[in-house]
């Protein structure tokens, strides 16, 4: 079942790079009591994700936070080392870079896609959501091109 507006974010874990190396962070730590923009990409270092999707949020993170958002987080179904390297290479230090290495969270919210034809395995669809205190208040899932999940689309919706 695909998550929808009004649904609570399921309990789960992500991995992020901490000062001492890889560390877990729970969905409750990220979403409880906060307003969060979470956007997901099919893969770190992939063309659209690296040229348009992530850079849009890097450029607009302050504008988004000025609309009352506490955290802007980027999630990818990659290992934490790749996600961390991609964040550093993209100047994304003001974003929370989250690895969903085994696609557990992506599967739990019903937004996977099969990328085996590209040698990528199970990945996340490209989407962005606004989450208010753990409840989805906006969900934009792109069907083809980068559209509703762009930083500009989210900023306009806030």
Q: What kind and span of H or E run contains 89?
A: helix 80-89
Cβ atoms of residues 44 and 90 within 8 Å: no
Q: Say how many C-beta atoms besides its own lie within 10 A of residue 6's C-beta.
A: 9
Q: Are strands 127-132 and 35-41 parallel, antiparallel or unpaired?
A: antiparallel
User: Could you confirm whether 74 is annotated as catalytic?
Assistant: no
Residues 6+ apart with CB under 8 A from 113: 42, 122, 123, 124, 125
38, 40, 49, 136: the catalytic one is: 49
Q: Say how many C-beta atoms besides its own lie within 10 A of residue 14's C-beta.
A: 23
Q: In this structure, what token pair is assigned to residue 99?
A: 């690895």
Would you please indicate which residues are annotated as catalytic (active-site) residues? Answer: 49
């Amino acid at each position: 079942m695909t998550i929808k507006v009004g649904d609570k974010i399921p309990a789960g874990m992500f991995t992020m790079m901490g000062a001492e190396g890889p560390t877990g962070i729970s969905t409750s730590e990220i979403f409880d009591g906060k307003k969060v923009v979470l956007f997901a990409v099919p893969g770190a270092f992939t063309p659209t994700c690296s040229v348009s999707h992530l850079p849009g949020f890097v450029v607009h993170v302050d504008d988004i936070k000025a609309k009352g958002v506490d955290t802007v987080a980027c999630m990818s179904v990659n290992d934490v080392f790749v996600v961390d390297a991609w964040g550093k290479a993209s100047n994304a230090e003001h974003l929370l870079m989250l690895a969903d290495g085994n696609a557990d969270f992506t599967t739990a919210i019903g937004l996977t896609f099969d990328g085996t034809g590209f040698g990528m395995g199970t990945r996340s669809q490209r989407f962005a959501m606004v989450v208010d205190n753990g409840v989805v208040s906006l969900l934009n899932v792109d069907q083809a091109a980068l559209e509703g999940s762009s930083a500009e689309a989210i900023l306009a919706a806030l």
